[in-house]
Amino acid sequence: MKYDIASKVILDISKEAILRRFLNLGSEIVHIEKLPEETVSLKRSDFPIRVFLKDGRNIIVLIEVQTIFDNDFAIRLLDYTVRYMLNYHQDVIPFVMSLVESPLATGKYENEFISFRYHIVRLWEECSMDYIDEVFLYPFLPLMRGGENLIEEIETKIYEDPNLEIADKADMLTAMAIFTGLKYKDLAIRLIERRRDIMIQSAAYEIIKEEGLKEGLKEGLEKGLKEGLKEGLYQTIAMGLEIKFGTKGLLLMEKIRKIESTDKLEVIKEAIKITDNLAEIEALI
């Protein structure tokens, strides 16, 4: 669910960059209009838009962000494509951004009777440095080749960019953290800790918490402990400090991350549950 939320938030911000860099439509675009996600049959596309071009034509682009491919995905995409063609009587371009490597991300579907092709970008095949000039694509860069090495650089550029609205910065950083977590959970956790002050202003961040992020963190803790990892504890403590004490509580995370003992981290985690005094937590560090 959180990937769907992040996708919809970031696609609205990055649609022009996506059309320019992946579909080569940049110089031809005059105007972009968002279309309803649901057709009359209640079939839902991720992000349908109508693109008006300089030559007077307009086309519909269905942007789909896919984390997990299954055998039916291409058939569903074909269904969306045909329904928009029937509803609007216009050319429709189906376009897929594949986030996680999959042998099914082929860009085509064929059987004895049907041949269907769709545009696809396999992010894991793209070089992250090729997009370093596209700030609105930054949330996707951690999924590209070499992207893990650019996370701190691009998050700083987003955070300090004077041309970006605060709401856009919050949405972009939140989406980047979620997408980063698909490949690098530790890096995602640290990004959240560094930029939570602005990410909490994102509607996506609030929806994610409401949709069960806290429960996800508890599950991550249990799994982490079984594997001998401390990251689950760090993550749970950070969430507890934010919920209980706000940004003042999060200031303790720099010291807490230096604690190697999982027993001591467990004590801090339990203390957060029962005390309302931040000084008592600080005394345990």
Residue 275 lies in a domain: yes
Residue 225 lies in a domain: no
Q: Is 205 helix (H, G, I), strand (E, B) or coil?
A: helix
Residue 147 lies in a domain: yes
Q: Which of 163, 184, 212 is the last residue of a domain?
A: 212
pLDDT digits (tens, 9 = 90+) for 107-152: 999 999 999 999 999 999 999 999 999 999 999 999 999 999 999 9
Q: Verify that 279 and 264 share a domain, yes or no.
A: yes
Q: Do residues 181 and 188 touch, judged by C-beta distance below 8 A?
A: yes
Contacts for 48 with CB less than 8 Å, ≥ 6 apart: 34, 35, 36, 37, 60, 61, 62, 63, 80, 84
Q: Verify that 245 and 199 share a domain, yes or no.
A: no
pLDDT digits (tens, 9 = 90+) for 79-110: 999 999 999 999 999 999 999 999 999 999 99
Q: Is 132 helix (H, G, I), strand (E, B) or coil?
A: coil
Residue 222 lies in a domain: no
Q: Verify that 164 and 235 share a domain, yes or no.
A: no
Q: Verify that 9 and 89 share a domain, yes or no.
A: yes
What is the reported pLDDT for 208? 60
Q: Is 72 helix (H, G, I), strand (E, B) or coil?
A: coil
**Residue with tokens 């609007």, as numbered in its chain:** 88
Q: Residue 261 sits in which domain range?
A: 230-285
Q: Verify that 137 and 30 share a domain, yes or no.
A: no
For the entire predicted model, the pTM comes to 0.71
CA nearest 186: which of 130, 252, 88, 257?
A: 257
H helices of the chain, in order, are 2-22, 73-88, 151-160, 166-180, 185-199, 203-208, 214-226, 231-245, 247-250, 253-256, 262-274, 278-284
Q: Do residues 100 and 116 touch, judged by C-beta distance below 8 A?
A: no
Kindly state the average pLDDT of the residues 37-57.
75
Write down the mean pLDDT value for the chain: 86
What is the reported pLDDT for 1? 53
Q: Which region, left, alpha or beta, applies to residue 62 given φ > 0 means left and ψ of -120 to 50 means alpha?
A: beta
Q: Which of 75, 91, 125 is the last residue of a domain?
A: 125
CA nearest 96: which of 61, 72, 71, 131?
A: 61
Query: Percentage of the chain with pLDDT > 90?
Result: 53
What is the reported pLDDT for 28? 83
CA nearest 260: which of 235, 224, 234, 279?
A: 234
How many domains does the structure of the chain reveal?
3
What is the reported pLDDT for 216? 52
Q: How far apart are CA 32 and CA 51, in angstroms?
A: 5
Q: Verify that 158 and 207 share a domain, yes or no.
A: yes
CA nearest 196: which of 256, 146, 125, 246?
A: 246
DSSP collapsed to 3 states, 11-64: HHHHHHHHHHHHCCCHHHEEEEEECCCECCCCCECCEEEEEEECCCCEEEEEEE
Question: Does the pLDDT of residue 40 top 50, yes or no?
Answer: no
Q: Verify that 98 and 149 share a domain, yes or no.
A: no
Residue 221 lies in a domain: no
Q: Is 154 helix (H, G, I), strand (E, B) or coil?
A: helix
Q: Do residues 267 and 284 touch, judged by C-beta distance below 8 A?
A: yes
Residue 94 lies in a domain: yes
